[in-house]
Amino acid sequence: MLRNYPQNFVDLYDLNNVMFEPYTLKDIAKALGLSTSTVSRALRDTHEISAETKRIVLEYAQKINYHPNPIALSLKERRSRSIGVSLSEVANHYYAQVINGIESIAYDRGYHVIITQTHESYDREKVNIDHLASRSVDGLLISLSAETSDTSHLHHLHQRGLPMVFFDRVAAKINTHKVTANNEKGAFEATEHLIKQGCKRIAHLTSPDHLSISIERLNGYRQALEKYNLPLEETYIKYCPQGGKSRLETENAIRELMNLSEKPDGIFVASDRLSIGCLIAFKKLKISVPEDIEITGFCNSDVLDLIEPTLTSVSQPAFEMGQLATAMLIDLIESKYPVYDFEKKILDTSLYIRNA
């Protein structure tokens, strides 16, 4: 006698038959009259399986296009062969290039890449990273959000042994591998270029002061001023707490600078988004380059050659940074012994001089 199934039971059952159900070891074993262990060993080419059995199994596996279930493997091996990435925004050519670098290495070494965006929010960063960690990523590649000054959420994971490598915006307090551009030198060269162009009052527009990149780029700016005996004016340094996330933030900073009694005649901008935001603000406020002010800035945009006004830019080796960070992370993940000796790799930037 038939049990009284809910009305939709049959449909559900049918659906499950149609649904995407890959073949398993058990299927092969059943079809060939072998045990799953034998099939598993045959496929892994163990020495204790006869050549004949191996041939039969391999042939059949090929025929039905068998692939081991990666989820089951992950559970068994307690690793997911995936790495998590946390960065502020993919809609930024610098980070897009970094991602390409990350992928190129991860792909070759058999890892998946899961990208998450913080949109410069600390809370979002925390949620994303917890999510990644609980999703059993084998390691993390991190560039901090603009809002992040407290890194204890990362510290905790790191303490528990989750491998992580920082790039770009690194955490001072966490002792692990780090990859950055030579921010000091890049900032120095950018500022020096303004000085050589004849600027005397050079402003500096930058990200929040707690970020590693802000500190380092400020240092380079300061050193250039010192070298050429120009005074460091605190009023010329403008921080954007949101890293220029909103256009208004950048615009207001520019407005304040240009309202000073002694207007700056040059400005060194410390990040991609701020550089673009600055140019947009100039356009809106009808500030002309280089007549009213000269500008240099960190920027990896691919259309800088088309942009008016022209921007002399400091470009970071983004692709290589992604590659290097990923290689270091995978080395950490695959290391058989705990690693205590961490290094910080610093890659040179390039100054692209564009004259108006």
Partner DNA sequence: AACATGGCCGGGAACGATTGCACACTTATT
Partner DNA sequence: AATAAGTGTGCAATCGTTCCCGGCCATGTT
Footprint of a copy of itself (CB under 8 A) = 8, 11-12, 14-15, 17-22, 67, 69-72, 74-75, 80, 89-93, 96-97, 99-100, 103, 112-115, 117, 131, 133-136, 157, 160-162, 276, 279-280, 283, 301-303, 305-308, 336-338
Nearer to a copy of itself by Cβ, of 88 and 212: the residue is 88
Cross-strand partners of 103:
none
Which H/E stretch holds residue 345?
A: strand 344-347
- Residues in contact with 269: Cβ distance below 8 Å, sequence separation at least 6, in sequence order: 204, 205, 206, 275, 278, 295, 296, 297, 298, 299
Nearer to DNA by Cβ, of 69 and 100: the residue is 69
Sign of the CA dihedral 171, 95, 338, 68? positive
Nearest approach in angstroms of CB 303 to a copy of itself is 6
Nearest approach in angstroms of CB 100 to a copy of itself is 7
Partner interacting with residue 45 (select from DNA, a copy of itself, none; CB below 5-8 Å by kind): none
- Residues in contact with 299: Cβ distance below 8 Å, sequence separation at least 6, in sequence order: 94, 269, 272, 275, 276, 311, 313, 314, 315
Nearer to DNA by Cβ, of 73 and 285: the residue is 73
334-95-311 Cα angle (round to 5): 145
Question: In the window 148-187, what residues touch DNA (CB under 7 A)?
Answer: none
Partner interacting with residue 162 (select from DNA, a copy of itself, none; CB below 5-8 Å by kind): a copy of itself
The neighbour count for residue 278, using CB atoms within 10 Å, is: 26
Nearer to DNA by Cβ, of 76 and 196: the residue is 76
What distances in angstroms separate CA 346 from CA 106, 216, 321, one per listed residue? 21, 12, 9
Nearer to a copy of itself by Cβ, of 96 and 258: the residue is 96
Partner interacting with residue 33 (select from a copy of itself, DNA, none; CB below 5-8 Å by kind): DNA
Binding site for DNA (CB under 7 A): 21-22, 24-26, 33-38, 40-41, 43-44, 47-53, 67-69, 72-73, 75-76, 78
